[in-house]
Amino acid sequence: MKIVHGFGTRACSIKMAPLIRESIKRGHETLILYTGQHYSPNLYEELFDDLEIPRPTLDIGAKGDPAELGAKIIVETAKFCKKEKPDILLTHGDTFTAMYLSLGAALALTPVGHIEAGLRTYSWEPYPEQICTKTSDACSALFFAATEKNKQDLLSEHQPAERIFVVGNTVVDAALQHSALAKKKSKILERFKFKKPLIFWSCHRKENMLHEHRMKGIFDSLLELTEVNFFCSVLPSTQLAAEKWGYAKRLASAKHIIWEPCLPKYTDALRIMLESDLILTDSGGMQEEAASLHIPCLTLRYVTDRPESMQAGANKCTGCEKESIVKEARNILSNPAAAQKMREAKNPYGDGNSSERIISIIEQFKGKMERWETKIVKQ
């Protein structure tokens, strides 16, 4: 079969890597369509080599605001699909890239397989992720849900039951496959001399970045927790928010904070996570990674589209107020029993074999990927 793997952000590169390797392993013609949504060198160039996946068949190189990004991705995706005529185009998650790739492929009559389908909060937040994931689902021929809840949400929206599959999340595959590798080859602990307790911090959601009150609460909590050592993985949008709200210099100069641009290598990021006592994040993917690696997690949001991790006891939403974040972080770091309970929580996102399941399901649908309606014959 000819399978297109479409993505364009660092997180989705990581989550799609196990799928790409599985597709190649089985002998399928494997094409990579990269949108360019994340184009900074440390989010792209070294990452592909670290993940051990081929460079893109086509890099669309889309840049600009969301509308400009979308226009180019939709047009170029449709052209690519019409030229290559793949059996299916796989997209991942709830990004602008996933939405625009899905639209471009569907408009070119190419079947779409949505990995991580059915993420729902039934609220405006997370913005714009809820818009993106719902649009991708509306374009899809096959739905690969990570959890039973995701499946039930898709069914409630009248998506076809025979095309919805609970497969777990490929981030578990990636985390488990690369954590062992990280311990062997990562030298990041030699570069940064970490002191305990250590918190891995990553915050980049647009709903937070655009909100002064929220970001001040989040940044103030970093500065308040002076008894803790932080490794802050800083995306470009995070840096812009720190500058916009007047925190950039204070965060970069704080003695207990390592304020570092997002690491190029996933294995380096994983190595630091494995060393950490707690993860503080607003990232959906990191909530899943924390549950997979059995690291306590606090989510810097009011709602989450990963409620399974909260129900399992591996994760908790703190909101964005300084007082709440500081209280919850100190409670976990000062209470070994509470931290251990979170570490022992069962991972709700699968067993690390999601990629194998997804490719097997795609193979079963060879020649019958389209979702054309059929005439009902009355008996």
CA-angle at 234, arms to 206 and 239, nearest 5°: 65
| SS3 assignment for 90-150 | EEECCCHHHHHHHHHHHHCCCCEEEEEECCCCCCCCCCCHHHHHHHHHHCCCEEEECCHHH
114 is catalytic: no
What whole-number distance in Å separates Cα of residue 97 and Cα of residue 64? Answer: 13
**Chain centroid to CA 368:** 29
Please state, in angstroms and rounded to a whole number, the distance separating the CA atoms of residues 121 and 259.
31
Q: At what angle do helices 266-275 and 170-185 cross, to 10 degrees?
A: 80
Amino acid making up residue 182: A
Among the listed residues 204, 213, 256, 294, the single catalytic one is 204
The CA angle 32-287-120, to the nearest 5 degrees, is: 80
Catalytic residues: 204
